[in-house]
Structure 1
């Protein structure tokens, strides 16, 4: 990958999109992970106002410290960057308190985790509305178009996606070029939605490198029968996630009414 040229292309794309849309700048949720660190840095490099939001909900202290350190670094280097912490833990707890919670269902933890992401989306759009900013998404290609590893109308609810055509390995390459802090570059990727230390790999059952491999082979028309051992296992994981999360990755289905029924 021509890293410098890719970075410049994204920066110019962001600036041109915001200008044509008559918007003032960007707002982005900074989590302490590589995707939000790279995306926020690219937004900052446009020269347009960039608001970095921390939105902890029972967040692990390591994630908070990484996010704060990144934002401090960004604010020091770019005069157009501002930041704010909005502690959503009390909001989430109040939400959880009034929701019926059937402990017999296995989907309760996931439903609550997705609710965290949707509370953050609501917060991002609150500030976007206040300042006439665009909400910048942080999803990469594997997450957004491979395994659908994001929350529908949560972190998937954005105005534009600067890094969604880049594999996770490409994002790390950009991170190195952009001098993202070591703590973030070396941290295990996590969505931070469960209030514990589980990583993305723990949830997905495969690493991003493995999923990239599977995605590329699937795009080439390969099937699980073409592989053995761990490769077959990873390919099956990819195919299962791609299939079960396709509803996130495709446009919302519209029931089209036949013309003769409208007359």
Structure 2
């Protein structure tokens, strides 16, 4: 398994020239919360929320953070709100290879190694793979080097020279990944993430893209990724974990994705490889 140090994958959003009010209003509307509901949650008043959003009142630093918390604003964007309100950013952005994050890196490596022989990886907010175990390496066997440096999970999966030709339910799995990116774009104002989205959605999908079902359908409990490996069809369902209450932008944007065998045949095959 390799840990890859990367630069921050999503740039901190520049503060809005009109101040913090329009930004807070945009987040409130995105969450579909009324001014009254937000006021009740934040122990304020609808009148004060209205004044903040229209620029008639400058919120305190504590109020900006309280509103951001109740609006579930991502950590990076909370820094942008603070800057727009005239305050210093609260959350640092520590490079992943910084010694201060040694314990975090070691913990993630032990976690995904312990998940073997099943695949597991760690990605940042731009889907750059920063760590991966041998289960992932097995799936990526034969992928061109140009897609591995730097490795990007979306590009590796959906590129015509990546895993895409091997995925037996490519249309369904592609739809799942594209929807996932769209949810991320709704939370992060990132030119880099937008560029990645436009790139992968432009990849051609053959009319005869793999999509056949197994001869004896299995009642999967979640949408699986069905991928061919050395003449076998392996089925996985994925789970994504993030860190609870992160206080650093880098940590907040890390996600651990694990792939669980979706049927007994896949589990048995992977255990055989491990043996």
Give the alignment's TM-score, normalised by structure 2: 0.26
* Structure with larger Rg: 2
User: Which structure features the higher share of helix residues?
Assistant: 1
